[in-house]
Amino acid sequence: MQNNVEEELIKRSLGLFHDMKNGIEQEKLVKQARDIFKVIEDSPLEKSISFDDVEDVFRMTSVSLDKALQSISDEEFVIYFKSEVLTTKTYDFFFPVYCFYGFPNGFKLGYSTAIDFDRMPPEIREYFGFLWEHRFTIDTEYHRTKDEYITLKKRTAFVHLIVKANGHFKAIENARSLAEDALHIIRFLYQINLNIIDIRYKIRENKNEGGIEGIAVLPFVGGANFSKFLEEHIPILTDIFTKSNPNEIEKKIRNALRIFGIQKSMSNDQVRFVLLITCLESLLMTASDRDYILWKLAEQAAFFLGGDRRETNEYVRSAYGKRSAFVHGSTSKDGLVTRSDIDSAEELAVGLVWKLIDFMKKGYTSIQKHNNAKSIDEYIEEAKFGKHQEPKEIHKNHTSN
């Protein structure tokens, strides 16, 4: 099947290449490129190449081959197309985590690994040095000299991750997703927002470099440092993110941390609150709970967390009401989200994650009851009604005369 896909891709791409030589409108070029990409969709190649990569091949043909279109032969184009679309390459990505300092070199963070600035390839160091020199000209408010500014940037935490892809757009897409998971762990543990701002990569096979910069802005003025707390807790969450065959609870924690990290990067409190309630749902609810999610979520949280069950139950019901008021456009004052609501929802989400991790240590692997797996639903039933007792057989006593 793979060979058939590649043959069809080359055939269609040559057709578009010929149209480009004859002159083609931009709109038609994009449409034909989309038709070519449809051949890739639902094939194994979809994991390695994006539409942007395919479109870019045609946009950059003349520039990449350093020739006018009319002087490029079909053979040259096919070799070029194969190298850009059909050849898997290994990308080494480097991301600065600005405002975070002190990560030990080699420390694992999700699929990423912390790396000191001085240990990165010289080309990557040179690129960031040049970038920071330029930024200093417009970012001098908190730094007296350029050397002071650049020295601080060199101290920032960098992470390194490896991605295999055919095109650089797909490589960046996959790398950003993996890097976001790394940041979600820190966002969750430290309750602060950290952004991916600059990305730089180097391709092992051809030594080419690339990346993007200025994706976001610095989230705050200040800094956070690596600590004993992170040293102890990051490996627990990293194991959950990188496990090849996670159980149901691990999948839910992974998803919840992503939602939690996303809300941390938001500025609108209403949106943050909706995401936090969604985070709670993702931890304890399953597809079968959809029809009665409000009372089930409140009950699950109350009995699972313990403590003041009535208080937890009432809070979740109130929080869900505010969530629904915002989603459905209510302007009622009762539906307004306060900073206290955000703090309480975050505290509840964090508590549920660590409670679930503690329960996994006791052998629990799922939320719903199924097969012989220990489930949270079963635990909550026991908390409400006591342990299940098998019915005792009733024996009649017979006496003899």
Summarize pLDDT for 37-53 with one digit per residue, the tens.
988 887 888 899 999 99
Segment 237-244 long-range contacts (CB within 8 Å, at least 24 positions apart): 237/110, 237/185, 237/188, 237/189, 238/108, 238/109, 238/110, 238/185, 240/357, 241/110, 241/111, 241/181, 241/185, 242/110, 242/111
The structure's pTM equals: 0.82
Q: Which of 204, 356, 219 is nearest to 280 (CA)?
A: 356
Distance CA 383, CA 385 (A): 6
Q: How confident is the model at residue 331 (pLDDT cuts 50, 70, 90)?
A: low
Between CA 157 and CA 197 the distance in angstroms is: 13
Query: Taking the CB of residue 281, how many other CB atoms lie within 10 A of it?
Result: 22
Encode pLDDT of 345-396 as tens digits: 999 999 999 999 999 999 999 988 877 788 888 888 887 777 655 555 544 4
Residue 145 banded pLDDT, cuts 50, 70, 90: confident
